[in-house]
Amino acid sequence: MPAPLSRTPAATGRTAGACIAIGAFDGVHLGHQAVVGAMLRQARSQGMAALVQTFDPLPKVAFGRGRPICPLAERMSRLYALGVDRVHVANFTSDYAARPAEAFLDDLTGLDVREVYVGDDFRFGRGRSGDLALLATRFRVTTAESVTCPRGERISSTRIRRLRAGGEAGAARALLGLLPGAFACAQEAAVQTLSPLDLEMLS
């Protein structure tokens, strides 16, 4: 069964395949922005569509191991503010998590994906059986390098949650980065209606 995907606010008109960045992107912090930015530069240089795939609920949340930094609407608005053409949201249910790894690859093939950008610990499919080697059997794969703050510490969603819990909201905001266009994107998304296909896929 194909993964449920989100709507897109505008058609791109590109037909030369797509680059895609895949991940939880919880908070869309500066590290995430670097990954998406690298994907965007490659997509634009090759005339390909620039896509992002994320998950709702976040896998960590679905498995009871944490709370999201921000709601899905804010996550999507921050991703669109980076300039991507489309954000796909897979409904991370128990059925979705139980799908074989090959089904995930088929989803990407259905999106005409040619190049994939992920973290070096990315896993997918039932029991996390899919790895970078399997992903590379069908697509060109680029793994993201860690992004550090001026103090040399790695920027991560876990670190941002820790800072918030410790009352360091300012430090957490600094790692999230300012995306001025995110609010406008959120307003635009709020007034759009889903197509019948999207309604079916998101049900």
pLDDT: is 203 or 57 the higher one?
57
Domain boundaries, the chain: 18-184
Q: Which residue has the tokens 């909201």?
A: 169
134 has a pLDDT exceeding 50: yes
Q: What does the angle CA 20 – CA 93 – CA 72 come to, to the nearest 5 degrees?
A: 55
Predicted local confidence at residue 41, as pLDDT: 96
What's the DSSP call for residue 126?
Answer: G
pLDDT category at 179 given cuts 50, 70, 90 is: confident
12 has a pLDDT exceeding 60: no
Contact 42, 119 (CB under 8 A): no
Interatomic CA distance for residues 160 and 169, integer angstroms: 9
Fold of 18-184: Rossmann fold (3.40.50)
